Homo-oligomer: A and B are copies of this chain.
């Protein structure tokens, strides 16, 4: 159900946004945190309008429809932010794989852990580049909060890279202990 609130929140911040505008925002600034397809967006816009949480505030050229949040929508968004406890992800694919590491050869497993650590180092560089090129000045409050999530992203990458390095060491120690027998 969170897509609903993601859209509600964006419409609250970016007043007079169209479905197309939202799509761009999802692609660019929200892409790392929440993904949505064009199909989903237009469907949810219809449902939000139906539910009275947003309304068409203007119609522009090329069939463009601009949306604005209603009072009911604002209340709903506020309620979600304050009263509904956020639920963390119930699924983590990279971590799932760790459980099955002994299904491949020890060397392959060590290699896998190395590759994962390297990939995270690579992504850290990319994120750093992104941070350097984003025009932070514009955008106001949304950009300020974007900066918070940028820092989160950096810490998350670093934590995982460190963990892969640590896990590799653990795994290797295990392999060598087994060999010594």
Does A112 lie at the interface of the complex (its beta carbon under 8 Å from any beta carbon of B)?
yes
The complex is assembled from copies of this chain, and their number is: 2
Q: Chain A: interface secondary structure?
A: helix
Contact present for B145 and A91 (CB under 8 Å): no
Contact present for B174 and A151 (CB under 8 Å): no
Query: Within A130-167, which residues are at the interface with B (CB < 8 Å)?
Result: 141-142, 144-149, 151-152, 155-156, 159, 162-163, 166-167
Interface residues of A (CB under 8 A from B): 2, 5-6, 9, 12-13, 30, 33-35, 74, 77-78, 81-82, 85-104, 108, 112, 116, 119, 141-142, 144-149, 151-152, 155-156, 159, 162-163, 166-167, 170-171, 174
Report the 7 A-B pairs with minimum CB-CB distance, sorted nearest first.
Answer: A9-B100, A35-B90, A102-B141, A86-B94, A159-B159, A86-B93, A33-B95
